[in-house]
Amino acid sequence: MSQLLNYKLEGEGHTIVLIHGLFGNLDNLGLLARSLKQDHQVLSIDLRNHGQSFHSTSHNYLEQAQDVEALLDHLAIQRCTLIGHSMGGKVAMKLAEMIEPNVEKLIVLDMAPVHYSQSRHDNVFAGLRGVDSAKPTSRKDAQNLLAQHIELEGVRQFLGKSLYNNGEYLAWRFNVESLGDNYSEILGWQSINKIATPTLFVKGANSDYLLAEHQNDIQQQFSNAKAHVIANTGHWLHAEKPEEMLRTIRKFLS
């Protein structure tokens, strides 16, 4: 029996599963959860190697999707809607292929079903490892260490949410070593068999993760896909424009 993911289950009604991205945790989509739980059951999860879920030396999309499937089975959730951001969007797409009859709708936030060749997180890994080796005892010191590698304060603040005091110093909840070792898997993608699940790809207008050139890949894997662009926002569209993101989600769900 595989280990179960850490999760939070709130609200009642049709189940929406929220799946965070790389270096995230189940609180990342909390702005969406707070609204959606008013009229849905919302399942927020920590993916493997993240948050308070188990650590593993392997980290690929098949396993991550199987982890979520095992949790759905454990909770006896039959039908659901999947919403995933970034890496979590890939997990959601893979899971939708695996349990297609049980997925009512699929919403992918700023991610394409493609293999990305560009490494986008070298500075982040450098910052995380800097904190790991220095073993800071205050959040201020940890943020200063991150700042040596990571220019954007928003990114540093986001990462800081996954620091915890292990009794001696501040450490990361996510598994830095495994995520670094498996980074090519995270960038990668094995095309899924075409599914007919109603799917919405939401793009942050200023982000370069989801591009016109990905349209062909989307059409080959999703026979019932639409796209929606949220203006003046980047890759963190749910954090930057939560109200607009919620309107877009609710419109698609209805």
Point out the residues that are catalytic. Answer: 86, 235
How far is it, in rounded angstroms, from Cα 161 to Cα 214? 32
Residues contacting residue 87 through CB under 8 Å, at least 6 positions apart: 21, 22, 47, 111, 186
Give the C-alpha separation, 103 to 172, whole Å.
33
C-beta atoms surrounding 129 within 10 Å: 16
Residue 191 to residues 62, 90, 97, 222, 241, Cα–Cα distance (Å): 12, 10, 10, 10, 30
Cβ–Cβ < 8 Å for 11, 38: yes
Q: How far apart are the first and last CA of the chain?
A: 37
Helices 87-98 + 61-74 axis angle, to 10: 60
Number of neighbouring beta carbons within 10 Å of residue 233:
21
Q: Which of 169, 197, 23, 2 is nearest to 93 (CA)?
A: 197
Smallest Cα–Cα separation from 93: which of 193, 210, 228? Answer: 193
Q: CA distances (Å), 83 to each of 53, 65, 113, 220, 245, in order?
A: 19, 13, 14, 20, 12
